[in-house]
């Protein structure tokens, strides 16, 4: 009697699963490619607010003709060096479409200032409006979630704008765009409140800071408003950790959180809002100071008194000094939180005899 033939089922099953997984991956990749490279108009509030990928001139012209487009909120920020932004500015002016440009990053926390400005834009600009980033998947999904919360939709509905079905792929525990909504949920739980548009606005205006970028910095006593070129300048500030976590500063100056100061200028005339110049990417501000005496952990809620010491620039003129906390090699706190302390400094020429000696 012959042996029964051996049936090898597992390799076939594994191969089938492998091909199915590969097919799903190809379909997902094709879906994302389509989402990124298409205009992809999506309703947020039908007839009023839409999210899209980066629109071209033809897309904007068609939107004006077909849906009466009146406003655009660009989440990529102003960038006159890029053709897409120059085109957007030109067509918006030509067609009388209001354009608001705010800078958000896909892989970073929504900055406090820009978030408040975005809410103001949603409240203010005429509708219908388009919200766009580059792909229409990530920053636009976050923005659509904010619009839903302002309308009164649930927090889960807001998170849904960042779902896989909308083309957003991320680790939710690491994704700052998702964690933004988690922070709001945690605040509601602490306060024992239910979500409402009023509660969301209250949280944004009073409590939203990307962790750990929440600091209160104020001057203690008189602060110099003028100095002789090339001479020492010093003053004292009070710093409070307003975040919900500790700050760690170490002797390694490449890591940790510590107080810093930087300077911009000279100016003639003075800028209307110096913080805008400190916050732009690749700012020309020059670092002048790091606190080296406060190593260790600053617990949440703790305060320290710190002396800031720097040297006035050699060139006379009007300068602005920013005193702010620095997350070394990552961010100045003002990139995502408040402005820190902004101080004007008028630098006067050194006396003639001093210049001759030097």
pLDDT of residue 21: 54
Domains of the chain, each with CATH number or no CATH = 42-206 (3.90.190.10), 215-354 (2.60.40.10)
In whole angstroms, what is the distance from residue 38 CA to residue 42 CA? 11
Cα–Cα distance for residue pair 98/70, rounded to 1 Å: 6
Residue 76's contacts (CB-CB under 8 Å, 6 or more residues apart) are 54, 85, 101, 103, 104, 132, 133, 134, 139
- The pLDDT of residue 124 is 97
Q: What is the DSSP code string of 257-290? A: EEEEEEEEEEESS--S-HHHHHHSTT---EEEEE
Contacts of 95 (CB under 8 A, 6+ apart): 60, 61, 64
Q: What is the pLDDT of residue 249?
A: 84
How many C-beta neighbours within 10 Å does residue 135 have? 22
Cβ 70 vs Cβ 126: under 8 Å: yes
Residue 123 to residue 206: CA distance in whole angstroms? 18
Q: How far is CA 207 from CA 192, 196, 204, 210, 259, in A?
A: 15, 16, 6, 10, 22
Count of beta carbons in the 10 Å neighbourhood of residue 80: 8
Q: Tens-digit pLDDT profile for the chain (358 aa)?
A: 444 444 444 555 555 556 555 555 555 444 444 444 445 788 999 999 999 999 999 999 999 999 999 999 999 999 999 999 999 999 999 999 999 999 999 999 999 999 999 999 999 999 999 999 999 999 999 999 999 999 999 999 999 999 777 677 777 788 999 999 999 999 999 999 999 999 999 999 999 999 999 999 999 989 999 999 999 999 999 999 999 889 998 777 778 999 999 999 999 999 999 999 999 988 999 999 999 876 788 899 999 999 999 999 999 999 999 999 999 999 999 999 999 999 999 999 998 755 545 5
Could you tell me the two tokens for 210?
């990307």
Total-model pTM? 0.84
Report the DSSP beta bridge partners of residue 247.
Answer: 298
pLDDT for the residue numbered 35? 44
pLDDT at 33: 43
pLDDT recorded at residue 14: 58
| DSSP E strand boundaries for the chain | 42-45, 49-52, 71-74, 98-101, 129-132, 215-220, 226-228, 232-241, 247-249, 257-267, 286-290, 296-298, 303-311, 317-327, 331-332, 341-348
Closest alpha carbon to 151 in 187, 101, 195: 195
Token pair 């320290």: residue: 304
């Amino acid at each position: 009697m012959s042996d029964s033939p051996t049936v090898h089922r597992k390799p076939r099953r594994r191969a089938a699963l492998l091909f199915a997984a590969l097919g799903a991956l190809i379909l997902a990749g094709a879906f994302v490619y389509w989402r990124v490279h298409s205009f992809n108009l999506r309703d947020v509030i039908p007839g009023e607010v839409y999210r899209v990928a980066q629109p071209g001139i033809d897309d904007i012209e068609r939107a004006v003709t077909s849906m009466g487009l009146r406003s655009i909120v660009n989440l990529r920020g102003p960038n006159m060096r890029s053709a897409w932004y120059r085109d957007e500015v030109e067509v918006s002016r030509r067609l009388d479409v209001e354009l608001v440009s705010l800078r958000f990053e896909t892989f970073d926390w929504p900055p406090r200032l820009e978030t408040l400005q975005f809410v103001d834009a949603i409240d203010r600009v005429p509708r219908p409006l388009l919200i766009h980033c580059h792909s229409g998947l990530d920053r636009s999904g976050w923005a659509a979630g904010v619009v839903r919360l302002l309308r009164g939709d649930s927090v889960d509905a807001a998170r849904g704008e960042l779902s896989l079905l909308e083309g957003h792929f991320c680790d939710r525990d690491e994704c700052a765009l998702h964690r933004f909504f988690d922070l709001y949920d945690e605040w509601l739980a602490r306060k024992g409140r239910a979500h409402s548009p009023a509660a969301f606005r209250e949280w944004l205006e009073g409590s939203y800071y990307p962790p750990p970028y929440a600091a209160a910095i104020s001057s203690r006593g008189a602060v110099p408003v003028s100095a002789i070129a090339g001479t020492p300048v010093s003053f004292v500030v009070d710093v409070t950790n307003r975040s919900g976590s500790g700050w760690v500063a170490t002797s390694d100056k490449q890591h940790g959180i510590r107080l810093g100061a930087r300077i911009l200028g000279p100016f003639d005339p003075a800028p209307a809002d110096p913080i805008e110049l400190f916050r732009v990417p690749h700012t020309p501000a020059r670092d002048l100071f790091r606190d080296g005496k406060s190593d260790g952990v600053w617990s949440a809620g703790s305060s320290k008194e710190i002396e800031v010491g720097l040297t006035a620039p050699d060139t006379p003129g009007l300068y602005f000094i920013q005193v702010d906390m620095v997350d070394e090699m990552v961010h100045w706190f003002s990139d995502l939180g408040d402005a820190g302390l902004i101080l004007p400094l008028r630098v006067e020429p050194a006396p003639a005899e001093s210049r001759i000696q030097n």
